[in-house]
Amino acid sequence: MKPVLFPKTPGFRLVGLLCMVAMSVILLGCDSQMKAKGTGAAEVQKDPAQVPPLSAVAIREAQRQLAAVGYDPGRIDGVLGKRTRTAIKHFQVDEDVAVTGELTPEVAGLLKRAYSRQRAEQALKNEHARAAGASHKLPDTPSPSYEADDVYVYTDGRVETVLRVGPERTLWETVEGNAYTAYRNFILPPISWKIGATSGENQIKPAAGVKWPLATTENVIFWVGSKAADEAPDAPAVWSGRWRCKAGGAVKVQAVAGWFNAIAIQCNRANPEPGTWKRRTWYFVADVGHYVRRVDVMQGTGRKVTVDLVAVSPGGKGWPPAARGGLDWAIQNALDSGQQESAVEWRSSAVGAMFNIRVKEKIDVSGDVECRRYGIERTGLDQVRLYPAIACRGPGQDRWLTPGLDLDAVSPSSLKLP
């Protein structure tokens, strides 16, 4: 292509020079935009392997926050191990996000916000307590306490396992495979349930929550509405009458699992349906963290229906098999000795707690089966915990079996008080 020639007159030379400068500016601008676009693409396609791994300090902080908001990460050691990943999964389930068990920036952000909310709520509670004055402080009373994999057996045949424990809610599963979510505050009905192919939920008013009765000297009053999952979304819940609950004084109660120092918590329902309970009394034992007896008085007939706790079996979540076997051996050894109140001690470095097994008195059952009460007292962790239980052994059996948990054991419903 021939070069463009401009006339040699001064005017045309100036015009030509201006055109060449304009073209240079346009070309330089285009080149800059292309370089900018190229740089952006390189950043988007950055190799994930180049992202630095989480530091032990960041993991330790996440573990501390998980523990503070009610999820057990195991040891606070800055290592993203199995228990920490499991705790992250449980947190992700409750936050309704993808369940991966990974400590991503998004998860860390959610966790930080949950921790901040928890601290703010606790600060507000402390402020209210200070404002109320020393004469109006809430009594320092324990609340129900549960641990994952613990199993509870009752005289009505129920066998329930704790699947997951959150700050306020606990997920339970029955031996039949049914499941329900409930508050730690066991006077409240399940939040949601699934029984076979049916499911549903309960609504509680006031929605702000109901106090644990031992944390107040006043009546706890609320209403409960139930709704099945297969009902239309706009279908109203079926509301029961008013519930009025209050904690009483300390009482000595004899249940199937033994004698206990308990606190009676009584609830009354206004206008219950015929054949349902109108008054329900729980006998709560702080060292067990649960009730050992529940007594219902039925509407219309006044008939009493009593359900007792038969056994609480430590789940040993995260224990190595050798530790689980060691505790079972100690329990069998104590029961074989038959020496009442003579403690058999067992501990394991893998568990970090001391267990004292104490054999109690015999309990009568039909036939040639021998049954004994016993208790496991755990010390050395956050609190002293008591696991009451009953074990039985029939003719030809070389092991003590727990009703409701072991094959060939007697039925829990066969255990009655004299």
Residues 360 and 340 sit within 8 Å (Cβ to Cβ): yes
Half-sphere exposure of 257 (CA within 13 A, CB side): 31
Domain boundaries, the chain: 56-126, 151-312, 319-414
φ, ψ for residue 125, nearest 5 deg: -60, -45
Contact 394, 369 (CB under 8 A): yes
Amino acid, res. 173? E
Q: Output the pLDDT for position 230.
A: 79
Specify the pLDDT at position 39.
42
Q: Does domain 56-126 have CATH number 1.10.101?
A: yes
Q: Block means of pLDDT (10 residues each) for the chain, length 418 residues?
A: 45 41 42 43 43 78 87 87 90 86 91 84 61 44 89 96 92 95 93 91 83 90 88 76 90 93 95 91 95 95 94 88 91 89 84 89 84 91 84 92 92 80
**Considering the domain 151-312 in this protein, what is its CATH number?**
2.40.360
* Of 245, 263, 267, residue with least CA distance to 141: 263
Amino acid 71 reads: Y
Tell me if the bond preceding 320 is cis, omega within 30° of 0.
no
Burial class for 355, CB neighbours closer than 10 Å (0-12, 13-18, 19+): buried
Look up residue 410 and give its DSSP letter.
Answer: P
